[in-house]
């Protein structure tokens, strides 16, 4: 009888612990989804702003069409990767888009009329603000992903994670260009 009570007590403790681990993993999974949703909203907002910025630049006939084309193509790749939920492809597309935006902002220096345009300045401020917000949210997303990935690999959480198929999540990484120092001379070379 005592053995049966001890066995039942041990099973109850294991069950409560398993439920606790499961609930914790569910919370972490939802934190990752929420962090991604925050990035997704910002990407959509920026997606809506970029055509306005490109069109404003395009109004200045001499403005470098190649730069505008690269930004438009990169924007399409970001949108495609975002809709597919392909985090690695999104990171690569984001790198190309950020490079193109940097080139637009640097090229604007050669167009004083465009640079002084109130509409352009507002768009540039908005896009820059969205870029900063995306960078902040990327940090939060990657932190949530790291917590998820560590927890599903730690023992004994890995047992519960394996039983209920909690997946690893990919980090959102941008290309090497975002990590290097900016070559200011190259940006302002004519």
Cα separation of 32 and 173, whole Å?
Answer: 15
CB 42 within 8 A of CB 130: yes
The CA distances from residue 141 to 5, 36, 138, 157, 170, in Å, are 45, 6, 5, 21, 10
Whether the CB-CB separation of 45 and 161 falls below 8 Å is answered with no
pLDDT at 54: 86
**DSSP track, 34-70:** HHHHHHHHHHHHHHHHHHHHHHHHHTSTTS-HHHHHH
Res 99: pLDDT: 87
pLDDT tens sequence for the chain (190 residues): 789 899 999 999 999 999 999 999 999 999 999 999 999 999 999 989 988 888 888 777 667 788 888 888 999 999 999 889 888 899 889 888 988 888 888 888 778 888 788 888 898 889 989 989 998 999 999 999 999 999 999 998 999 999 999 999 999 888 765 444 444 344 334 3
Q: What is the pLDDT of residue 137?
A: 94
Cα separations in angstroms, 52 against 16, 49, 59, 146? 55, 5, 11, 36
The count of domains in the chain is 1
**What whole-number distance in Å separates Cα of residue 39 and Cα of residue 101?**
18
Residue with token string 């409560």: 16
Q: Helices (H), strands (E): how many in the chain?
A: 7, 0
DSSP SS3 for 169? coil
**Rounded to the nearest 5°, which phi and psi values hold at 186?**
-65, -35
Residue 69 sits in which domain range?
A: 2-187
Task: State how far the Cα of 84 lies from the Cα of 80, in Å rounded to an integer.
Answer: 6
Q: How many residues are listed for the chain in this entry? A: 190
> The pTM is what?
0.75
Domain CATH for 181: 1.20.1440.20
């Amino acid at each position: 009888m005592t053995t049966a009570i001890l066995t039942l007590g041990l099973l109850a403790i294991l069950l409560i612990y398993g439920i606790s681990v499961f609930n914790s993993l569910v919370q972490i999974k939802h934190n990752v989804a929420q962090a991604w949703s925050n990035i997704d909203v910002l990407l959509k907002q920026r997606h809506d702003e970029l055509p306005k910025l490109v069109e404003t630049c395009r109004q200045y006939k001499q403005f470098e069409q190649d730069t505008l084309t690269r930004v438009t193509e990169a924007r399409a790749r970001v949108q495609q990767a975002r809709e597919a939920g392909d985090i690695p492809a999104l990171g690569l597309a984001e790198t190309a888009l950020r490079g193109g935006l940097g080139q637009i902002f640097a090229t604007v220096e050669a167009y004083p009329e465009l640079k002084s345009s109130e509409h352009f300045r507002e768009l540039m401020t908005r896009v820059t603000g969205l870029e900063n917000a995306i960078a902040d949210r990327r940090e939060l997303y990657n932190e949530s992903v790291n917590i998820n990935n560590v927890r599903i690999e730690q023992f004994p959480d890995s047992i519960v994670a394996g039983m209920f198929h909690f997946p690893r999540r990919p980090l959102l990484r941008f290309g090497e260009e975002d990590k290097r120092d900016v070559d200011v001379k190259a940006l302002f070379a004519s």
